[in-house]
Amino acid sequence: MLALGLSVLGALSAAPAHAMSDAPEAPQTAASDAALRIGNTADLVNAVTQGLPPAQLTPIAARSGCGPQGCDTFIGPLRIDRDHGTLFIDGQQRALKRADHGAVNGQDLPDIDWASPRAYAVQTAGRAWGTCIQFPHEGLGKSGSAQRWTSVVLVPGGRSRVPVQAQRFVGYWASCDALAAGPRVGEVLLTVVERSALGTASTSADAAPSAPLEAARYLCSATGCTRQADTASVGVDSANGALIWPRRVAR
pLDDT tens, position by position, 152-188: 999 998 554 555 789 999 999 999 999 999 999 999 9
Q: Reduced to 3 states, what is the DSSP secondary structure of residue 148?
A: helix
pLDDT tens, 52-93? 999 999 999 999 999 998 999 999 989 999 999 999 987 888
Residue 200 confidence class, pLDDT cut points 50, 70, 90: very low
Query: Buried b / exposed e across 60-82, counting CB within 10 Å, b at 16+?
Result: bebeeeeeeeeebbbbbbbbbbb
Cα separation of 104 and 172, whole Å?
Answer: 15
Query: What pLDDT, on the 0 to 100 scale, is given for residue 88?
Result: 92
Residue 106 confidence class, pLDDT cut points 50, 70, 90: low
Q: Reduced to 3 states, what is the DSSP secondary structure of residue 35?
A: strand
Let me know the angle formed at the C-alpha of 184 by 181 and 186, rounded to the nearest 5 degrees. Answer: 70
DSSP class of residue 61? -
Strands 165-172 and 97-101: parallel
Query: What pLDDT, on the 0 to 100 scale, is given for residue 149?
Result: 93
Q: Reduced to 3 states, what is the DSSP secondary structure of residue 244?
A: strand
CA nearest to 147, candidates 129, 160, 159, 135: 135
